[in-house]
Structures are given as structure tokens and as C-alpha cells.
Amino acid sequence: GENVEQHPSTLSVQEGDSAVIKCTYSDSASNYFPWYKQELGKRPQLIIDIRSNVGEKKDQRIAVTLNKTAKHFSLHITETQPEDSAVYFCAASSPRPSGGSNYKLTFGKGTLLTVNP
């Protein structure tokens, strides 16, 4: 099955700096890669996603890049703000091995991002 590795486990930056979180995946059939932000005690919230037919996607201060050949994808946050502090999870999704459109998510272990004022 799919295995997703995420680094770093913790990241501390100064307000205004950029933050980069990296993930690798193992299943070449994975074709959808979302990123979730989870604040303490809250639900994971989808912040950006990318499909395998695209190499990069940007939404204001957040961008995601995907390298299918190397099987890795990254989250980039520019001009970080204290409210960006949270745990960020990457995930990979693919159809079931037997086919169909299940698209379960396999998550990385998360990155605790702290943005210091």
C-alpha cells in the first residue's frame, strides 16, 4: 500500500519568512495530493491540493509543487504569519488497487509549524 513520509516534523520560522514542508510517496498510482492544516483540537482543513497532471499550483501565499518522477511534493508558505501556526499534513490518494474511485487518503505524520512574531 501507499506510504507517505513527511519532513520536517517541526519547523519554527520568524514572521515574514518562508516555510517549506516536503513529502514523499511510494505508490506511483497516486494521483491526488492534498495538504491539510490542523489547529489544536480542530478538524483537518484542506488548504491546497494538486493533481498528478500538474507540476505546481499556487493560491495566494501558499503553493504546492509535485515531482512525479521523484515521487515527492512540497508545500511552500511565503510571508508567514502567526496564524499560520498549526500542524500541516500532506496526503496522497489513489484509486483502489482493484479499480474504482475510492480515493482514500494516506497521510504523512505531520509538521508542527510555529511562526514566531
Give the footprint of other proteins on this chain (CB under 8 A): 32, 34, 36, 42-46, 49, 51, 89, 91, 93, 96, 100-110
Give 60 or 101: the residue with its C-beta nearer to other proteins: 101
Q: How far is the CB of 20 from other proteins (least distance, A)?
A: 19
Q: How far is the CB of 15 from other proteins (least distance, A)?
A: 26
Give 13 or 105: the residue with its C-beta nearer to other proteins: 105
- Distance between CA atoms of residues 53 and 47, nearest Å: 19
Which has the closest alpha carbon to 76: 98, 96, 61? 61
Which has the closest alpha carbon to 31: 73, 60, 59? 73
Q: How far is the CB of 60 from other proteins (least distance, A)?
A: 18
Residue 45, Cα to own-chain centre: how many angstroms?
A: 11
- Distance between CA atoms of residues 105 and 30, nearest Å: 10
Give 80 or 93: the residue with its C-beta nearer to other proteins: 93
